[in-house]
Structures are given as C-alpha cells and as structure tokens.
Amino acid sequence: MRNLAGYTFLEIVVVLVIVALISALAYPSMSATLDNARMNGTARDLVTLLKYAREKSRAEQMTTVVVLRQEEKDLTIFDDEDQVVKHYPLWDKLLFHRILLDGIPVETNEAVVWFYPDGRSTGVALVLGAAESGRQLRLKTDILTGNTRIYRPGEEGFEDELFIQ
C-alpha cells in the first residue's frame, strides 16, 4: 500500500476557484475603500498646501498665490515675484464638482487664491468627489483668517449654503 503525502490536482483547483470567487466579491468593496482613502489623502494634501501658502505669506510678509487647475488636476504656489514655490499634482480621479472664490462660482479651468501677509485670503470653497464612488468632501478657506478645513458628510458645515448654491 502506497501512502503519498500531498494534494491532488482537483483539490488544488477547487481551492483556487474558491480564492478567485472571494477575491471577485471583495474587489468592489476594496476599490471603493481605496478611492475614499485617496480622496481623503488628496483633501488633506490640499489643506496642507493651502496652509503652507498662508504661513509662507505671513512668515515672509509677502503675498502668496495658489493656482488650482481643474483639468490638469494640479496646484501651484507662487511667491510675489511669480516664482514657483511648489508644484503639486493631485490624484487623477479627483473631480471638482464646484469651486467658489469669494462666493462666486469659478467657470474657468483655473482658480486663483491669494494669501496676504496679515493672514487674510480670498475665500475659496471646494466640493471634491471621487470619479467612481460618488462620495464628496468639502473644503473651505476662511476669508479673514486664511485657515482651511475639510468638511465630511454628516459633519456640521457640510451642508453650508456656500457649497450647495
């Protein structure tokens, strides 16, 4: 009598089919989770870059300009001599549902935000979304303080009339 240790070809195929089915069922959930994580990361990056521009303006006592290009999905920070301070490409699946400067909708590709040495800024409000998940995040820069923050669904301020108009 032969006693061979190991698995048969049929057992290996059955295990591979089960793994493939579980992977196929889990993929949509993982994909949406990854999109949400990337959108959250991009929103945090935007806030960080806007705060950086504000602090640079205050520290160096000069006007700093932030140019956000919707189609190219990038952000560039310029100093008061039009020199590029930072250029940052954004996540390629990010959608700009709405951009407002001082409460006025931006109809062009570029949104220009100014930060002044006293901390003020042109107010900017952004409604961001992910191409596939449909989830939204909203960012707003205060005109008087220049501070920027993220608003998530269900959070106070998310339904602010500035975002909905």
Q: Which domains can be identified in the chain, with CATH numbers? A: 9-164 (3.55.40.10)
Phi first, then psi: give them for residue 150, nearest 5 degrees: -100, 140
pLDDT at 52: 95
| Top-confidence residue, 50 or 93 | 50
Region 69-80 average pLDDT: 93
DSSP classification of residue 156: T
Res 63 pLDDT > 90: yes
Cα–Cα distance, 161 to 6 (Å, whole number): 66
Q: Model-level pTM? A: 0.79
Angle at 113 between CA 83 and CA 71, to 5 degrees: 85
Mean pLDDT highest for which of 2-11, 16-25, 36-45, 57-66? 57-66
pLDDT at 45: 94
| Top-confidence residue, 35 or 88 | 88
pLDDT at 158: 80
Res 12 pLDDT > 70: yes
pLDDT at 133: 73
Query: Could you read off the pLDDT of 130-148 as tens digits, one per residue?
Result: 877 778 899 999 888 889 9
Res 53 pLDDT > 80: yes
β-pair type (64-69, 148-151)? unpaired
Cα–Cα distance, 154 to 151 (Å, whole number): 9
Q: How far is CA 161 from the centre of its chain?
A: 21
